[in-house]
Structure 1
């Protein structure tokens, strides 16, 4: 019994740092589960919010005692009340969350008539607007629960129509659709630039065009996914297309960054062995990260290994972000060494400057999308959760525009803007730089 409050405490602490981005009508099956807390949804309610929980085929088993139905139940917990519940758990090791005055208790298994082995449906309005988490609590550490659960959370709009998206995410369909239009326009502009500079087009430019296409399709599917969830509570298959294009887009993005960082197609038509190894590491890791993302997105936090999958996704993402920086550093080092021997100091200085700028841009992009966006999701009020999504898409668009501009196909690109007459000045600059280092 003493282990249960500590587990609950750690779980609630993790919940306070976690933001769930989807809410749908869900039908779940819990089998022989002894967890003290199971999180089903995290949803932002307006003053017209409703929550409905239906359970059936309920069974509670225990090898030590006869189960007490009042020690098992569903409840809502707001973000503000979470702190109070954590304090109660610290002060009283045997405290049961169901007894807390800071929760909104929906029902316990005592309400099932006859007790257990029956279906029960509880629907209640949420009058106080806030972000709530829907939990199931098992306050008997030695008992195991089996049941079928159907959850439905929604707000009513001005016309009385159900809106199954959280209050802070209801604008996402429009947001994603607008950004998809921007990327389609970007793709048309990129195609025009490539067609007007055919002689300077390399294979990397075709991959960059494919990246824009995948990003646009990914956003279109995201918009449709959220649109159908908003109206019906289910994505109608658009989530499958979303994950497919998400996978292709992320793998292609990291591949393009690595290939540009190695100078492939610009500086040399081949990859060295160590550069191939980076690609062989980054791509499988991205596959693993996307599988983890799909598991998290499709199953939700009620699965037993939800926390583990979150940790896997975070670790793999960090490894990939670090791995894609190595090729850029190698190219900078190679250019610095080459500038001492090939007699083309001006060109090498231009290349070196460009790769340094690209390195800074990639670092800034990774920092913003991994740290700043996460901070926005954590500190933003539940009504403004869409702001973090907008900030992430703006950062993505800005990064794409800068990267595509830096490595655009032009006859006299950044690699060759300096003429031979500038060689002496460039050599002096490189020598000064070497002296400073």
Structure 2
């Protein structure tokens, strides 16, 4: 039994060794990764005295490495406490005085503090513009606009905490409590995001000032599921793949995430259906086709946003070089900002919004001759 260090490029070679090994020198009756020439030995348990031991390994070849514990003795279990400290040595120091400093962030994540700080500043400016817009158009502002503003606030706070978290980890290896703030603000952001999508999808404040029973039922499903999802995210983020039942927690997260994503589609579909039926039966309501167009676009954008951030990004991460892992974070934040911009622009408080307002002239025209759009969605 023992620990080895394996780079991502060496994993296929080690797998090939398991097929062609003639015997296991450790007595396990097969290949043991501890004897592989493609793995860098760290520590064997038979070399550890009763009081414990320390081992330091320096890596000369750049790459993405994994610390692997190998147990080549069938039927033998072991319990231990292990503390690892992994960092990159940066020569020159912050003042370029020739000293060396430790950088605890992986190479592919080192730009994260600056990226998240920039994103937080963008959302803070976004929030200021939104508040200014709501104040100027307070006559047309609805309750949903206040909820949308709260969403921007928690999004800005979450990314600010993410920047501080990454900054402290980069320099000390410890987030100093910023991870707790990140999870707290991330929790409120996640709940508010899905709540805003559901409220807009039901037409609350835009089409009707109340929620029907089925709309409330969706909220009562989505909000508790979002609470569960954010709690699972904390478990996944803090335990890591070595934690007990980590795979189970990942499966729970995916299941809850899929249920939440599916649940928020129903209010949008209901609004589209009700607008289409109203446009067929009432001459004045025929102008709701404009609103119907918006809700169709909203539905497509929500589907695209969730599909990209849940599926495409994961596939992108799997093939991306370790040096550019930060690109995934940039892609997610760019997609999120584009989604927020679309939603906030189309549902902003503005007089005579072509999607949310029906003027007197239009009502007269609607009661007269108006061709109906019988196309299907």
In the superposition, the TM-score normalised over structure 1's length comes to 0.79
Residues 168 and 175 in structure 2, CA contact (< 8 A), matched pair in contact too: yes
Corresponding position of 1:234: 174
Residues 280 and 372 in structure 2, CA contact (< 8 A), matched pair in contact too: no
Q: Deviations over 1:329-379 (max 9, x none)?
A: 110001111112232244211111110010011011111111221122111
In 1, Cα distance between equivalents of 2:285 and 2:343:
24
1:81 aligned onto 2:24: no
* Mean Cα deviation higher: 393-402 or 414-423: 414-423
Task: Give secondary structure in 1 for the equivalent of 2:224.
Answer: helix
State how many pairs are aligned. 360
Could you tell me which of 327, 331, 346 is aligned with 1:387?
Answer: 327
1:106 aligned onto 2:42: yes
Matches within 5 A, 1:59-208: 72-89=1-18, 94-113=30-49, 117-158=50-91, 159=93, 160-208=100-148
Greater strand fraction, Structure 1 or Structure 2: 1
Corresponding position of 1:375: 315
Root-mean-square deviation (CA), in Å? 1.7
Task: Give secondary structure in 2 for the equivalent of 1:321.
Answer: helix
Name stretches of at least 5 consecutive residues in structure 1 with no aligned partner.
Answer: 1-71
Task: Tell me how far 1:86 sits from its aligned partner.
Answer: 2.8
Task: Give secondary structure in 1 for the equivalent of 2:87.
Answer: strand
In 2, Cα distance between equivalents of 1:389 and 1:185:
20
Return closer, same or farther for 1:346/1:340 CA change in 2, 3 Å cut-off. closer
Q: Deviations over 1:45-86 (max 9, x none)?
A: xxxxxxxxxxxxxxxxxxxxxxxxxxx101111111112223
Q: Deviations over 1:234-275 (max 9, x none)?
A: 000010000000000000000000000000111111111111
Return closer, same or farther for 1:282/1:89 CA change in 2, 3 Å cut-off. farther
Task: Tell me how far 1:411 sits from its aligned partner.
Answer: 1.4
Task: Tell me how far 1:425 sits from its aligned partner.
Answer: 9.0
Task: Tell me how far 1:197 sits from its aligned partner.
Answer: 0.5
Residues 350 and 417 in structure 1, CA contact (< 8 A), matched pair in contact too: no
Name stretches of at least 5 consecutive residues in structure 2 with no aligned partner.
Answer: 22-28, 94-99
Corresponding position of 1:415: 356
Return closer, same or farther for 1:425/1:220 CA change in 2, 3 Å cut-off. farther
Residues 75 and 134 in structure 1, CA contact (< 8 A), matched pair in contact too: yes
Q: Deviations over 1:208-251 (max 9, x none)?
A: 00000000000010000111000000000010000000000000
In 1, Cα distance between equivalents of 2:74 and 2:366:
77
In 2, Cα distance between equivalents of 1:327 and 1:89:
53
Task: Give secondary structure in 1 for the equivalent of 2:4.
Answer: strand
Residues 345 and 426 in structure 1, CA contact (< 8 A), matched pair in contact too: no
Could you tell me which of 215, 224, 240 is aligned with 1:300?
Answer: 240
